Amino acid sequence: MFEKIWIEKYRPKKLNEMVGQEEIRERLSGFINSKSLPHCLFAGPAGTGKTTAALCMANELFGQKWKANFLELNASDERGIDTIRTKVKDFARTMPINADFKIIYLDEADALTRDAQQALRRTMESYSSVCRFILACNYSSKIILPIQSRCAIFRFSRLDKENIKSYLEKVAKAEKIKLENGALEVIIDISEGDIRKCLNMLQTAAVSTQSKITKDYILQISHRAESKDVRDLLNYALGGEIKKVRKKLYKLLFDYGISGEDLIKQIHKEIYNLDIDDEKKVKLLIKTGEYEFRLTEGSNEVIQLEALLAQFSVI
Ligand SMILES: Nc1ncnc2c1ncn2[C@@H]1O[C@H](COP(=O)(O)OP(=O)(O)OP(=O)(O)O)[C@@H](O)[C@H]1O
Ligand SMILES: [Mg+2]
């Protein structure tokens, strides 16, 4: 049977069904209560609720007819600012239904060049009597100041583990999934505050096995190492225990199928969590950078990783 993807099935419909981002939700609720909305800029990492918040607003402001009043565009899909302008013009031509304005959600606004953003600013102004723009981007610094100053800016932060966990627990319960203790934590750990990644991973695991979802299973399907394994690897290296280093390294590369490039990224991240002084961390980071570069240039990943870890033991 075709199954709806969970990121859509469980996408919150109201702001108060979202988790985290409390301050943002409170400010946005204010707009809903007053039935007014300025142009907005939503900035923040992937999978933290930018699109979801915009859809919730449309839902709460416009009710059942929200689709007629909501246009979603993606700046990197559309062929340049001209297509965006044409679509905006067509959309703005008809009156909003049961409301004073329509909403245009422009995703990846930071993909537009500066010139295109200038043109966008003019478009925003021409249609501001009927349309409110919500621009979404990862970094607000990539949006030109004249646009920033015309928007209320909302900074979405990475969601914290507790919030993601409570959300995933609800989904797991609704889908009647059996989870090993700690499996959700592994999913959350790998996803770095991105709920979309978490949900996709959980769904992939759930459809590919009928039995209980274990930590190991998640690591295998995601081709990722558990943070603890990477920390162990680093500690063995720092202690000069090269046999243990090799065993652990091979387990990660060959049993879990993690690519050298992914593993080096995880090593880079875990260096910050090591219990060593900062001066030493700096040296490890510099070495990691060198070896990451060599890997991207295509050298043999096993040899490079072993060499990197050997360097760690003499730093
Ligand atoms: N704060 C949140 N509360 C509950 N669910 C969330 C939250 N953030 C994201 N999600 C879930 O994750 C999915 C992806 O979120 P969303 O599309 O809002 O991310 P985004 O911030 O727009 O990311 P991108 O920058 O990649 O477009 C949603 O379908 C929703 O199920
Ligand atoms: Mg989005």
DSSP 88-105: HHHHHHSPPSSSS-EEEE
Q: Which of residues 226 and 123 earns the better pLDDT score?
A: 123
| Nearest residue by C-alpha to atom 13 in ligand 1 | 196
Q: Is 260 in the pocket of ligand 1 (CB under 6 A)?
A: no
Query: For residues 195 and 47, is the Cβ–Cβ distance under 8 A?
Result: yes
| Nearest residue by C-alpha to atom 27 in ligand 1 | 46
DSSP-assigned letter for residue 259: -
Distance set, CA 203 to CA 6, 163, 207, 208, 217 (Å): 7, 18, 6, 8, 13
| Nearest residue by C-alpha to atom 12 in ligand 1 | 196
pTM: predicted TM-score of the whole model, two decimal places: 0.82
Q: Is 154 in the pocket of ligand 1 (CB under 6 A)?
A: no
Domains, the chain, ranges and CATH?
6-155 (3.40.50.300), 161-222 (1.10.8.60), 227-314 (1.20.272.10)
The span from the CA of 274 to the CA of 69, in Å, is: 51
Query: For residues 25 and 53, is the Cβ–Cβ distance under 8 A?
Result: yes
pLDDT in tens, 6-30: 999 999 999 999 999 999 999 999 9
Point out the least confidently predicted range of 142-156, 221-235, 273-287: 221-235
Residue 127 has φ and ψ, to the nearest 5°, of -105, 10
**Nearest-atom index, ligand 1, CA of 11:** 31
Helices (H) and strands (E) in the chain, counts: 15, 5
- Mean pLDDT for the stretch of residues 114-133: 93
- Hey, how many other C-beta atoms are within 10 angstroms of the C-beta on 142? 14
Ligand in closest contact with the CA of 168: 1
Give the burial class of 265: count Cβ atoms within 10 A of its Cβ; 0-12 exposed, 13-18 middle, 19 or more buried. Answer: middle
Q: Which of 5, 6, 11, 19 to mutate to test the pocket of ligand 1 (most atoms within 8 A of CB)?
A: 11
How does the average pLDDT of the chain come out, rounded? 93
- Mean pLDDT for the stretch of residues 143-162: 95
DSSP-assigned letter for residue 134: E
Query: For residues 81 and 112, is the Cβ–Cβ distance under 8 A?
Result: yes
The span from the CA of 17 to the CA of 99, in Å, is: 23
pLDDT in tens, 60-89: 999 998 999 999 999 987 778 888 899 999
